[in-house]
Amino acid sequence: MKNLCLTFTAGLVLLLGACNLNNKPASSGEEVTGFKKWAATPPMGWNSWDCFGPSVVEAEVKANADYMAKHLKESGWEYIVVDIRWYADNQTTGHYNPYDETDFVIDENGRYMPSPKRFPSSANGAGFKPLADYIHNLGLKFGIHIMRGVPKEAVFNKMPIKGTNITADQIYSTESECTWLKDNYTVVRSKEGAQEYYNSILDLYASWGVDYIKVDDLSRPYHTDEIEMLRKAIDQTGRPIVLSMSPGATPIDQHEHATNHANMWRTIDDFWDNWAQLNYSFGMCAKWAPYITTGAWPDADMLPLGKFIRGERATDRYTNFTKDEQYTLMTLWSMFKSPLMFGGNLPDNDEFTNSIITNKEVLYVNKYSRNNKELYAKDDITVWTADDPANGDVFVALFNNEGDGFIKTKDLLYRSGTVSQLTDGFGEHIDVELPEGSTELYLIVNDSGDGIAWDHANWINPEIELSTGKKIKLTDLKWQYATAGWGEVSVNKSVSGKELNVKGTVYKNGIGTHSQSIIMYQIPDNSVRFTTFAGLDKAATDVKGGTTVEFMLATQDPTPRTVDLSKAIANTGRISRTTTVKSKEVKADISGAQKLYLVVTDAGDNSGHDHANWINPTIYKENGEALSLTDIDWVSASCGWSTVQKNKSVAGNKLTVAGKVYKTGIGTHSNSVIEFDVPEGYTQFKALCSYDDEVLDAPDGVTMEFLVYTENPVLDNTISIPVDLEGLGFKGECTIRDLWKNEDVGTYSNTEFAPSIPTHGVGFYRVSGEKK
């Protein structure tokens, strides 16, 4: 455990008083007028994007609305938002159909209409009104996503703009066309009929009963003219419709314009469930915090929590965030007063997920706190504070952000440093000697600190040279496993499926991937050299923003673990569908041991679909007497999903490995630790370790390692942080309340309060006391 003393001298003014969550917060003196009244607190809702990508259907929307009304509405959750391409008749997957392969539904005035195939109630021109009515009858609000601009279909077919004698081909421009979705053209403000077009689509949405509109390709790059046309179009409908602008990062120098025209706008590009992006968000939230305004909220993006069904970057899996990281996410978003838009499929929520999104004391901070700011950020510790205007209490969040959660840099063979569009040739030529006897090679691409958006990276002509002088192309070998932060790792094409292209030069041989990528190869033990050109793919560098990475190499596993690998008495190594080792029998000498720990880790990638089985786990005496661990009770058992099961898989099915059903075993899920007391006289442990056949067809994941310990394997990565309460402005004793546990911790003074914060975790507290 590390110790770190923080002295806060922010001069906060605190008033003595107890918290009453039913109190209406004191006025901040800020007058809320006009459209800002429609989002007086940060909007809270569900959006279909993370879970269903562009392919959500009406039944799925209704199921999430029903769940919200029954379980979440009381906690303030109210918006149900249908995200992108609801007007595409043949959109069925988490990725966009190409423009020329899409069947668009559009009315006679060039306005997109919902697909009746996907939204049956919209048939016969009804639009989204029946669905909006259904949601309103549940006591909720309804929102939709649109793209900036006018449909190309309307332009090509010269469709009339409602209420005018102008046609769509008279108001458009091909300049500033969206780079990632080709459905629309730019609307030119100076052209007659331009404002009328935006008026016509907002009039349509108002007639449907839309309460919230998310407009994409609007705030990065920042399209001032169309933002102002949208503001005017919404206002002229007479209906309160919240305006959300995407994507990010919105230029921070546009904060005043954004505040005067929208209710919320994105601070970063699409946010997904990996630590690198969450860690990056701390800096962006700190930059935007001074511009938090009631009714006009900087938006840190959606909450990638719960279960995803067929999203762009997540199919049939639960969030990759650990529980500590989920607490950190909800705490930062609440202290930043970000809008809260849940991304998972609500009907699949478990008890833990619901507990973190319905915690009244945490949501109170999101809704009503004031003076929210980052107070301290140094040496992996970040501290935020905010005030409670109802009584003068102070909220304090202590974050332990140690480690990037992706790779350990200590024993890397090579690091390129930052590679960006400022790098000559947009890449680095790499030529390194391999340590003698190397049998593994890891190609790593990491984010370089600005988020992973557009971090498409290529390993061009990657070759290993043997001591005999022979050269082997890596593309001729089969990798043991390969991960990427977006898309799929590809051989001889980019991660987006196109030609490998770095700054205009096309290459035939190489590997295309995206940051947050590890590609592991087994190589001959007489390998002596590795060469490649590592560069940024043109598909990404053609887009403004992003594309900043670091290339790395390792010859030993660089991925972090929550357990001490050096203390393991048995280790299977990686077991996966993509490795040559798919199951392994472990044997371990446990002579004299009083404890036995069975551990399954995610092998350093993520825990997606890591259904793990300990088949016939048995301990033996020297005389051969056997005792199955399923016949005794464990001391404790934890796993990363569901609960540990005896004689069943973690999903409750028969234990099945390679088609064979086993009656005896333990089903669990990474990351898992199962602790047993060892009866006297037992000297050996045996088990067959493998993933369960129930995840053979999982879309991703299923990579794990099994380890055996006789002493506590869990690394202590906590940091003890004594908080200087006097430095915060208090005198005498203060009452400290844990907001996540909803309980008082005790009374403290000076630096007596020193909570231990786990890696990637947070302590979230209310401090009540008398000021100096």
Q: Is residue 364 part of a domain?
A: no
Q: What is the CATH number of the domain that holds 375?
A: 2.60.40.1180
| Model confidence band, residue 546 (pLDDT cutoffs 50, 70, 90) | low
pLDDT at 2: 54
pLDDT value for 453: 79
Q: Measured in whole angstroms, how far is the alpha carbon of residue 63 from the centre of its chain?
A: 23
- Identify the pLDDT of residue 480: 85
Alpha carbon distance 232, 219 (integer Å): 17
Domain end position, chosen among 688, 709, 730: 709
Mean pLDDT lowest among 210-219, 410-419, 549-558: 410-419
Q: Which of 148-152, 575-579, 641-645 has the highest mean pLDDT?
A: 148-152
* pLDDT the model gives residue 561: 78
Q: Are residues 446 and 522 in the same domain?
A: yes
Output Rg (C-alpha) for the chain, integer angstroms: 28
C-alpha to C-alpha distance for 201 and 107, rounded to whole angstroms? 11
For 53-78, what is each residue's pLDDT tens digit?
Answer: 999 999 999 999 999 999 999 999 99
Q: Name, in order, each residue with C-beta under 8 angstroms of 431's C-beta and a sequence gap of 6 or more.
A: 529, 530, 531
AA identity, residue 543 = V
H or E element in which residue 230 lies: helix 224-237
Identify the band that residue 10 occupies on the pLDDT scale cut at 50, 70 and 90.
very low
pLDDT of residue 19: 37
Domain end call among 526, 554, 582: 554
CA 741 – CA 745 distance, rounded (Å): 9
Q: How far apart are CA 617 and CA 706, in angstroms?
A: 12
Q: Is the pLDDT of residue 605 over 90?
A: no
- On whether both 338 and 475 belong to a single domain, the answer is no
Structural contact between residues 366 and 340, judged by C-beta atoms closer than 8 angstroms: yes
Could you tell me the two tokens for 351? 């008890």
109-113, 216-220, 406-410, 585-589: which has the minimum mean pLDDT?
Answer: 406-410
Q: In the 8-state DSSP scheme, what is residue 88? A: B
Angle between helices 129-137 and 194-208 (to 10 degrees): 50
SS3 label, residue 439: coil
Judged against a pLDDT cut of 50, whether residue 11 lies above it is answered with: no
Could you give the percent of the chain with pLDDT greater than 70?
95
Q: Which of 172-186, 257-271, 306-320, 407-421 has the lowest mean pLDDT?
A: 407-421
Mean pLDDT check: name the lowest of 190-199, 411-420, 669-678.
411-420
Q: At 544, is the pLDDT very low, low, confident or very high (cuts 50, 70, 90)?
A: low
Same domain, 308 and 376: no
pLDDT over 70 at 29, yes or no:
no
In terms of DSSP bridges, do strands 570-576 and 242-245 run parallel, antiparallel, or are they unpaired? unpaired
Contact call for residues 712 and 720 (beta carbons, < 8 A) = no
Residue 438: pLDDT band with limits 50, 70, 90: very high
Query: Is residue 26 one of the residues assigned to a domain?
Result: no
What's the chain's average pLDDT? 92
Helix, strand, coil percentages, rounded to 5, for the chain: 20, 35, 45
* The predicted structure's pLDDT at residue 5: 45
Do 672 and 704 lie in a common domain? yes
Percent of the residues in the chain that have a pLDDT greater than 90, as a whole number:
75
pLDDT in tens, 648-672: 999 999 999 999 999 999 999 999 9
**Residue 120 shares a structural domain with residue 227:** yes
Range of the domain at 609: 565-709
Does the structure show a pLDDT above 50 at 147?
yes
Are 697 and 757 found together in one domain? no
Given a cut of 80, whether residue 167 has pLDDT beyond it is yes
Could you tell me the pLDDT band of residue 557, with boundaries at 50, 70 and 90?
confident
On whether residue 337 sits in a domain, the answer given is yes
Mean pLDDT over 690-705 rounds to 90
Whether residue 637 has pLDDT greater than 90: yes
Number of domains in the chain: 4
Check if the beta carbon of residue 660 is closer than 8 Å to that of residue 654. no
Q: Domain check: are 647 and 757 in the same one?
A: no
Q: Please, are residues 600 and 670 in contact by the beta-carbon 8 Å criterion? A: yes
pLDDT of residue 12: 28
Of the candidates 270, 287, 152, the one whose C-alpha atom is nearest the C-alpha of residue 217 is 270
Of residues 17 and 451, more confidently modeled: 451
Shared domain check, 309 and 232: yes
Other CB atoms within 10 A of residue 684 CB: 16
In this predicted structure, the answer to whether residue 462 has a pLDDT above a threshold of 50 is yes
For residue 540, pLDDT over 90 is answered with no
Assess whether pLDDT exceeds 70 at residue 742. Answer: yes
* Domain end call among 663, 686, 709: 709
Residue at 136 is within a domain: yes
**Which comes out higher in pLDDT, residue 378 or 594?**
594
Average pLDDT on 356-376 reads: 97
| Residues 80 and 144 placed together within one structural domain of the fold | yes
What band does 168 get if pLDDT is binned at 50, 70 and 90? very high
- The pLDDT of residue 240 is above 60: yes
Assign residue 664 the CATH number of its domain.
2.60.120
Q: Residue 607 has what pLDDT?
A: 79
pLDDT at 27: 42
What is the C-alpha separation between 645 and 126, in angstroms, rounded?
Answer: 50
For residue 545, what pLDDT is reported? 59
Alpha carbons 341 and 333: distance in angstroms, whole number: 11
CA distance 403 to 2: 14
Asked whether residue 264 falls in the same domain as residue 376, the answer is: no
Q: Is residue 464 a part of any domain in this protein?
A: yes
The pLDDT of residue 255 is above 70: yes
Indicate whether 725 and 622 sit together in one domain: no
Summarize the confidence of residues 134-140 as an average pLDDT: 99
Same domain, 349 and 492: no
Q: Residues near 157 by Cβ (< 8 Å), separated by ≥ 6?
A: 110, 168
The confidence score (pLDDT) of residue 421 equals 85
Amino acid at 600: V
What is the rounded distance in angstroms from the CA atom of residue 516 to the CA atom of residue 511?
14
Please check whether residue 338 lies inside any domain of the structure.
yes
pLDDT value of position 603: 83
The arrangement of strands across the sheet holding 212-216 comes to: 297-299, 264-266, 242-245, 212-216, 141-147, 79-82, 44-47, 340-342
Residue 634 in any domain: the answer is yes
Task: State pLDDT tens for residues 484-515.
Answer: 888 889 999 999 999 999 999 999 999 999 99
The answer to whether position 177 is within a domain reads no
